[in-house]
Structure 1
Amino acid sequence: MISNSNRHVIPSMLAPSPIDSAVSGSLQRAQGRAHVAFACPSGPAGERGTRLADLYQSGCAKIRLPRTRGERQAVLLNTAGGIAGGDRLDYSAAWGGGTQAVVTSQAAERVYRSLGDAGEVSNRLIVGDGAQACWLPQETIVFNGARLDRQLEADLSSSASLLAVEAVVLGRAAMGESVDCVSLRDRWRVRRDGRLVFADDTRLEGDARAILAGPATGAGARAFATILQASDDAQARIDEARAVLARCRSERLCCGASAWAGTGADAGGGVLVVRMLSADARVLRDAIMTFLQDWRGTDLPRVWHC
């Protein structure tokens, strides 16, 4: 914010000049790709444990592997400092048979006002037999005028387990920000042994405040999240999920859970989905953390508490 007492302000700082799509297309764009893979080889004494099998990073996409005493963790970073129109990020993670690891992000991702093109984020997960995968990035903050096209593709083997979360915050209420112009597309596709078991699309185009004003969208929610559990016991844990949500629910948070079994003669596993809505991003984040910690029976990665 520029103070009224500052009389030495360059005019262009107060009101950016128009930039058409032809000019914006010539601006520098951030590109990044990162991949991490885990395996579970036998140790010298026959012990088996999750180990790093592969690591690749290029451009602004980076991965860090903190030392932990418990489960293995990989932390995603975007050194570009956020996502602008035309940026492209590709992340992928693979869990080999029998592995157990968490992939998270260093901080909340930010999506800034676009001058034309959408920022694109592609997340690809591959989970092998008996592996327990956790995809737990922190929330994405979407600013006014932002354009984001994001997709999550997950391929699970018959006995794999996946816990995934994605959360979106529309502006920062503490900074007095509102989002009355946005383009957000978020696409989930989860398959088990090639069979589609979960498909979900979220689309916000235009004035987010008006779109989310109805009772079905929290009567003015500006933060929302989806949590998915795909595993053999997912449907059987629906009562447990609702009990945890009962501890999270308040006048400032709408939430619910549903679950179903796999379909088809050869389909395995089930799916459980939790939805959360709130007008307060802090309330939503606290609820996500409470649910994930109770659901997993262990603390979240340290970056969630920074």
Structure 2
Amino acid sequence: MTAAQAVEAATGWQARLAVGFERRGEQTVRAQCEHFGPLRVQRSLYPEGPQVCQTIVLHPPGGIAGGDRLDIVVAAAAGARAQLTTPGAGKWYRSGGRLAQQSLTVRVAEAAVVEWLPQETIVFDGAEARMQTRVELAAGGVFCGWEILCLGRTAAGERFTYGRLDLATRIESAGRPLWVERGRLTGGSSWLAAAAGLAGQPVSATLLLAGRVVDRHWLAACRDLVAPEGVLTGVTTLPEVLVARCLAPGVEVARQWLIEVWKVLRPAALGRVAVPPRIWST
């Protein structure tokens, strides 16, 4: 083993991706793409036409282990519209006691829109993980993002019996906080089964729309959606944030409900029909 390989084995993967979008005429283009370590842009597509740049973010190792740190920075200049997703599930492996971290920073300029719509995150039993999200909106900027968390590899009958997942999300508009949330999910905690906690469900999901004054009709339309069997849902608002949450027995039904919420909100708040990325079906 070389000295560099020994350091990597001791510290884990350190990776950074910075992606920037600009509007040029009627088209949104990827104007910046800088990466270090195992984070890449797989490709950018235009399934809706030139106004929206759809970008697929790839983490080639396929999972995050103890000692790994991923930093993702997304910036949309004035008037740009970007949608980012992933080609598959993110996986947080059992860490052996070492912390694994992911930091997402999104900067949205005036009249720009960023959608952050990754596929699900699977937290293996024994993972020690920290996920941080910070969104900085200029006046008139809009963010729509979701996170689908699955505790344990449920298809194999695994549950989250030990380990820890720390979560922190902060959304600001022109420096003014719109949404601040912190949480800790501890493996084996009674809170995971409590009615006031995760109610025994292995999957929890949250969608946040921020930067628009929420119309009461949007809220009513989201609440009127019929959830799949076994899925517990709730939708509420602050003056410039809509929050949709669900607890579910599996990833597929949670994603199904979130997509229906997104289909309601995207034309209403973002002025575009919701077109699911093809990568979700592959």
Structure 1 length normalisation: TM-score?
A: 0.82
* 1:298 to 2:274 alignment: yes
Q: Which structure is larger by alpha-carbon Rg, 1 or 2?
A: 1
For residue 65 of structure 1, the aligned residue among 43, 46, 52 is: 43
Other-structure match for 1:80: 61
1:75 counterpart letter in structure 2: I
* 1:225 to 2:232 alignment: no
* 1:275 to 2:256 alignment: no
* 1:36 to 2:19 alignment: yes
Other-structure match for 2:257: 287
Following TM superposition, by how much is the alpha carbon of 1:159 offset from its aligned partner in structure 2, in angstroms? 0.7
* 1:117 to 2:98 alignment: yes
Over the residues paired in the alignment, what is the CA RMSD in angstroms? Answer: 2.0
Following TM superposition, by how much is the alpha carbon of 1:213 offset from its aligned partner in structure 2, in angstroms? 1.0
* 1:211 to 2:194 alignment: no
* Structure 2: distance between partners of 1:73 and 1:108: 18
* 8 Å CA contact 2:228, 2:253 repeated in 1: no
Mean Cα displacement is larger for which, 291-300 or 28-37?
291-300
Is the alpha carbon distance of 1:24 and 1:111 closer, same or farther for their aligned partners in structure 2, counting shifts above 3 Å?
Answer: farther
* Structure 2: distance between partners of 1:111 and 1:166: 14
Other-structure match for 2:233: 255
* 8 Å CA contact 2:126, 2:187 repeated in 1: no
* 8 Å CA contact 2:45, 2:55 repeated in 1: no
Other-structure match for 2:153: 172
* 8 Å CA contact 1:130, 1:161 repeated in 2: yes
Secondary structure at 1:106 match in 2: coil
Following TM superposition, by how much is the alpha carbon of 1:255 offset from its aligned partner in structure 2, in angstroms? 1.0
* Structure 1: distance between partners of 2:119 and 2:171: 20
1:127 counterpart letter in structure 2: V
* Structure 2: distance between partners of 1:24 and 1:212: 37
Secondary structure at 2:263 match in 1: helix
* Structure 1: distance between partners of 2:7 and 2:225: 47
Following TM superposition, by how much is the alpha carbon of 1:287 offset from its aligned partner in structure 2, in angstroms? 1.3
Following TM superposition, by how much is the alpha carbon of 1:245 offset from its aligned partner in structure 2, in angstroms? 4.2
* 8 Å CA contact 2:228, 2:257 repeated in 1: no
* Structure 1: distance between partners of 2:152 and 2:248: 13
* 8 Å CA contact 1:181, 1:206 repeated in 2: yes
For residue 103 of structure 1, the aligned residue among 84, 88, 97 is: 84
Following TM superposition, by how much is the alpha carbon of 1:248 offset from its aligned partner in structure 2, in angstroms? 3.8
Aligned runs of 1:141-180 on 2, under 5 Å? 141-180=122-161
2:21 counterpart letter in structure 1: F
* 8 Å CA contact 1:93, 1:124 repeated in 2: yes
Other-structure match for 1:17: none
* 8 Å CA contact 1:33, 1:90 repeated in 2: yes
1:302 counterpart letter in structure 2: R
Following TM superposition, by how much is the alpha carbon of 1:239 offset from its aligned partner in structure 2, in angstroms? 3.6
Following TM superposition, by how much is the alpha carbon of 1:24 offset from its aligned partner in structure 2, in angstroms? 11
* 8 Å CA contact 2:125, 2:187 repeated in 1: no
* Structure 1: distance between partners of 2:7 and 2:38: 20
List gaps (5 residues or longer) in structure 1: 1-22, 43-47, 262-269
Structure 2 length normalisation: TM-score?
A: 0.89
* Structure 2: distance between partners of 1:214 and 1:239: 32
Following TM superposition, by how much is the alpha carbon of 1:212 offset from its aligned partner in structure 2, in angstroms? 1.6
